Chains A and B, each alone.
Chain A
Amino acid sequence: MSRATDLARTSLPRGVASFFPEAAEHKRAVEERLWSIFSSWGYREIVPPVFEYLDVLAQGLDQSTVEGGYKVEDRDSGRLMVLRPDVTAQVARMAAARRDDPARPHRYGYIAGVFSHSEAHRGRPREVFQAGVELLGPAGYSADVEVLALLITALRGLGLEHFSIAIGQARFFRAILEGLELSPEAQEHLTAAVARKDAPSIRTQLAAAGIDAERAEQVARIPFLIGGKEVFAAARELTRCADALGALEHLHSVMEALDGCGLGEHLLADLGEVRDLDYYTGVVFDVLVPDMGMELGGGGRYDDLLGGFGHPMPAIGFALDVERVLEALHRCGAAPRDSGPVYTITGQLADAHRAAARLRAMGLTAVAALKSDAGGPDILHAEGDQLFRVGTGGKRTPLDPATLAGSGKPAGQGG
C-alpha cells in the first residue's frame, strides 16, 4: 500500500494532536505537579462532563465561546449539546445545580481539555488542555489573594522563574466608562478601541461623542497604565469617580498582601486590559513569560457568573494552558525530567516476574522480558531470587538491586 494511502488512513483533523509517550509523560508531569499543589491548598477535584446542553451552558458563556463551540444534537431530545468549551462555566453550573452554600468557601480544581473552533492557519489548537481552580463563595479580597498566591506558588513549583502576573481590576475601566455616559453602541466601540490600545481611535471617538479633549486624553491613557506601584498614582490622576478609585484601592491592597507573602516580585499592575468586560467583575490577570508572545493562562473574579445559572454566588479562578506551560518550561530549561530506565528481566518467566515485582516495590520500573525485547543496557537476568547484570558477550555478574541507577520517581517530581 502506498504511503499516501496510509496517511489518509491515520489522518487527524487540524488543531488536535496525538501525544506519544515522551510528550505525554511531560504533559502528565506538569499536570501532576500542578495537581499536587492545588490539592495541598485544599482544592478538590471536580470532573465536568465532556458535553452538555448548549442552551444551559450558554448562560455562563460569552457569545464568541458559544459560536466557537462544537455542537452535536442530542438524539433523545433534539436539543443541541456542546463539547466542553470552557470549564469555569461548567463548574458554575455544577455548583448552582447542587446549591452550594454561598456563605462558605468551595474550592474546586480540574484538569480537562476544552474544545473550540479556531480559524485555519492561525496556529491555534482546537483542543486545549487546561489545569485550573475555582474558589466559590467568598467575595472578599482575601479570596483574591488566596487564588493569586496559589497561582504564583504553582508556577514557581513548576520551576518557572521569570514570569509575570499582569493584574488589573475590571471595575476600574467600567466605572470610568459609565461616567462618560455614552450610548451603548459608543460604549462598545470605545471598549474595543481601549482593548486594542488604539489611542488615536479613542481620541476620535470621544471627540465625536462631545467629550472634552482633556477628558478624552485621560481615557486615552488608560490602556497604557502598566507597570509597578507608580501606576496607581498615575491612575488616580485620571479619575475622580468613587467606584474607579475604589477599584484601584482594592487592587492595591491585593498586591500589597501578595507582597507581604513574599510573592510580589512577579506582579505587574495592568489597568489597561479591558477584555471580557461583561464577564469579569473584579481582579483580572494574565500569566506571561518573556519572549513567548502569548499568555500561559489567566483568570479573574466573575461574581455574576453563577447568577446566570440561578444561584448567585461570588467566584474567582484561573486556568493554565498545560501545553504552553510546558513550552515555557522547555524554553527556560526547566522541562520535566525524562522517566528513568525500564529494566527488562530475562530468565524463567516466573523468576523474571518475581524479580520485576521486587524492583517495582523499590520504586523502579521493570518488566519481564518478552521474546521480541531487544538487548540493551537495562537488561537484567533473574535466576531464582538472584539478579544478574548482563555484560557484553552475555557475561553475568551478580547484582544487588539496591545499587541500580534510576531514581524511580516519575518524570518531573525531582525537578
Chain B
Amino acid sequence: MTAITIALSKGKLLEETLPLFRAVGLYHEGLDDPGRRLLFENPDGDRFLVVRAADVPAYVEHGGADLGVAGRDVLAEYPDALYEPVDLGVGYCRMAVATRQGFSLDDRPGTRLRVATKYPAVAEAHFLSKGVTVEIIKLYGSMELAPLVGMADCIVDLVSTGRTLKENGLVELETIWESTARLVVNRASMKVKHARLAPLLEALQQAAQAALKSGKGR
C-alpha cells in the first residue's frame, strides 16, 4: 500500500481529530501524548507530523505531507492551493468582530475603520463586502488590547467561548462565519495516491458524520 504523510495541528485540535483518524485505522500511539516529538512513523510507512496549526497548509501545499487538518481560520489566510474535501466536524470556531463596550463603529469620525487582527484576509474580505474601507493592523496575539488602548476601532478574531472578550471589556458585534476543521489534501497526492486516498476520504467523512450524530463532534 502507498504510504502517506499526515500533518496534524498541535494542541486541542489534535485531541479532537485523533479519534476520527483512529476510526479509519490511521493511528500511532505516540500521538496521544506527543511531547516534543514532531514525527511519528508506523511500520507500514505512514507518517504523522505534529506542526503548528498555521503551518499545516504549507506542509500540504509543498508536498511535505499528503493530508492535513486545518481550520477555516488558517485556510482563509492561505491562497487557494489545496483541496479541502472533507468537513471533519471538529475544532469548532467562530470568526467575529468585536469592539470595546460603549463604542459603536458608526461613531468613528474618520473615513476608514482601523481593524486589528491576526486574520487580515478575512477582515478585509468581510468589510469589503459591507462597503467599509478599512486599515488593517496585523497583530499576532492578545488582540483584545488594541481597541482598549485606542490603537484600533475593532478587532477581527477567533472566538470560542467569548470569555476572553468579556473579561477585557469587549463586546462581540457580529459573527463573520462559524466553521469546523477541514481535511486538506495535496493537489498531486490526490491524483498520484488516488487508490489509497479515495477510500480514506470516504471513511473519514463517514467517521465525521457518525461522530456528529453521536454528539461528540463539538
Residues of A within 8 A of B (CB): 119, 122-123, 164, 166, 192, 195-200, 223-224, 226-227, 268, 270, 286, 288-295
Contact = CB atoms under 8 A, between A and B. Distances in A.
Contacts of B61: 293
Interface stretch (B103-111, B125-133, B155-163, B187-195): B187-195
A336 B172 CA distance: 61
Contacts, number: 67
Interface in B148-189: 185-189
Instruction: Pick the 7 closest A-B CB pairs, nearest first.
Output: A293-B63, A197-B83, A200-B87, A166-B191, A197-B85, A288-B188, A226-B194
B85 A288 contact: no
A292 B85 contact: no
B80 A164 contact: no
A224 B85 contact: yes
A196 B82 CA distance: 6
A164 B191 contact: yes
A116 to B, nearest CB: 14
A350 to B, nearest CB: 56
A288 B64 CA distance: 15
Contacts of B86: 199-200
Contact of A227 (B63, B85, B189, B195): B195
A198 B86 CA distance: 7
B188 A292 contact: yes
Contacts of B185: 197
Given A119-B79, A196-B84, A270-B191, A226 B198 contact: yes
Given A224-B198, A227-B195, A227-B198, A293 B83 contact: no
Given A164-B192, A227-B194, A291 B63 contact: yes
Contacts of B80: 192, 195-196
Contacts of A290: 2, 192-193
A223 B188 contact: no
Given A288-B188, A294-B63, A199 B195 contact: no
Interface residues of B, number: 26
A195 B191 CA distance: 14
Given A292-B63, A293-B61, A196 B190 contact: no
Nearest to A268: B191
Nearest to B197: A226
Interface in B46-64: 61-64
Given A119-B79, A227-B194, 14 more contacts: A197-B83, A198-B83, A199-B85, A199-B86, A223-B85, A224-B201, A270-B191, A290-B2, A293-B188, A293-B189, A294-B62, A294-B63, A294-B188, A295-B188
A247 to B, nearest CB: 19
Contacts of B193: 290
A293 B186 contact: yes
Contacts of A294: 62-63, 187-188
B186 A288 contact: no
Contacts of A200: 86-87
24 contacts: A123-B62, A166-B191, A196-B82, A196-B83, A197-B84, A197-B190, A198-B85, A200-B87, A223-B85, A226-B194, A226-B198, A227-B198, A288-B188, A289-B188, A290-B2, A290-B193, A292-B63, A293-B62, A293-B64, A293-B186, A293-B187, A293-B188, A294-B63, A294-B187
Contacts of B186: 293
Contacts of B79: 119, 122
Given A196-B82, A198-B85, A226 B62 contact: no
B73 to A, nearest CB: 16
